[in-house]
């Protein structure tokens, strides 16, 4: 989506260690008018999927998930991160490795808020290795819910997550697909 690609070109910053910093408009400061346009785009792409719940993960997915949810008139559920394994009987849990932060989180959702009648759209800001996405898909499966797909703001298309997800039959809609990035040559996007 050109609107987001242009914004990333203008304000995204590439750092060593494969880091694309977008905290001026995505994950520290949130450009809400921009995010609202992206939320509408997710709505248009999934409008026929019968979505009745948006699932994301704290913290940076919550803003775009909430803006998207209003168009579906659906609630958001955000998975919580916990350093310790939570073995409580009333939650679904999955393990998620963060390569960015070099640690492993357990993510969890209360069984009260995800169930067999839910048709779930996962919303998140980034897709790279797919760790977070597959963790969320795992929670959806545990709940017996139906996965409609995943709406992603920025996919690092040169990493395996998106490819693996699509091979598994998950409908992934990424609004910007980074083909390559470097401080020297800047950022290029996959031509759709």
Q: How far is CA 182 from CA 34, 113, 121, 162, 187, in A?
A: 25, 41, 32, 20, 7
For position 13 contacting its own copies by CB under 8 A, the verdict is no
Take residue 60 and report the two structure tokens written for it.
């940076």
Q: Angle at which helices 32-46 and 62-72 pack, to 10 degrees?
A: 50
Closer to its own copies by Cβ: residue 143 or 165: 143
Q: Report the site for its own copies in 86-105 (rule: CB under 8 A).
A: none
For position 17 contacting its own copies by CB under 8 A, the verdict is no
For position 110 contacting its own copies by CB under 8 A, the verdict is yes
Does the bond joining 59 to the residue before it have cis omega, within 30 degrees of 0? Answer: yes
Does the bond joining 95 to the residue before it have cis omega, within 30 degrees of 0? Answer: no
For position 42 contacting its own copies by CB under 8 A, the verdict is no
For position 19 contacting its own copies by CB under 8 A, the verdict is no
Q: Report the site for its own copies in 118-147 (rule: CB under 8 A).
A: none
What value does the CA radius of gyration of the chain take, rounded to a whole number of Å?
16
Name the residues that contact its own copies, by CB under 8 A: 23-25, 28-33, 35-36, 54, 58-59, 62-67, 69-70, 73-78, 80, 109-110, 112-113
């Amino acid at each position: 989506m050109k609107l987001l690609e242009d914004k990333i070109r203008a304000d995204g910053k590439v750092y060593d260690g494969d880091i694309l910093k977008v905290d001026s408009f995505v994950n520290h400061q949130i450009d809400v008018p921009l995010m609202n346009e992206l939320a509408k785009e997710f709505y248009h792409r999934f409008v026929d999927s019968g979505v009745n719940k948006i699932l994301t993960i704290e913290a940076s997915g919550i803003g775009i998930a909430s803006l998207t949810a209003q168009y579906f008139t659906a609630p958001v559920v955000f998975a919580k991160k916990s350093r310790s394994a939570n073995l409580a009987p009333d939650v679904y849990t999955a393990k998620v490795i963060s390569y960015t932060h070099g640690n492993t989180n357990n993510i969890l959702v209360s069984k009260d808020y995800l169930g067999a009648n839910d048709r779930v759209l996962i919303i998140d800001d980034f897709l790279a290795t797919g760790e977070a996405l597959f963790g969320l898909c795992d929670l959806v499966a545990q709940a017996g819910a139906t996965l409609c797909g995943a709406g992603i703001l920025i996919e690092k298309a040169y990493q395996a997550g998106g490819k693996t997800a699509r091979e598994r039959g998950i409908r992934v809609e990424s609004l910007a697909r980074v083909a390559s990035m470097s401080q020297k040559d800047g950022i290029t996007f996959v031509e759709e």
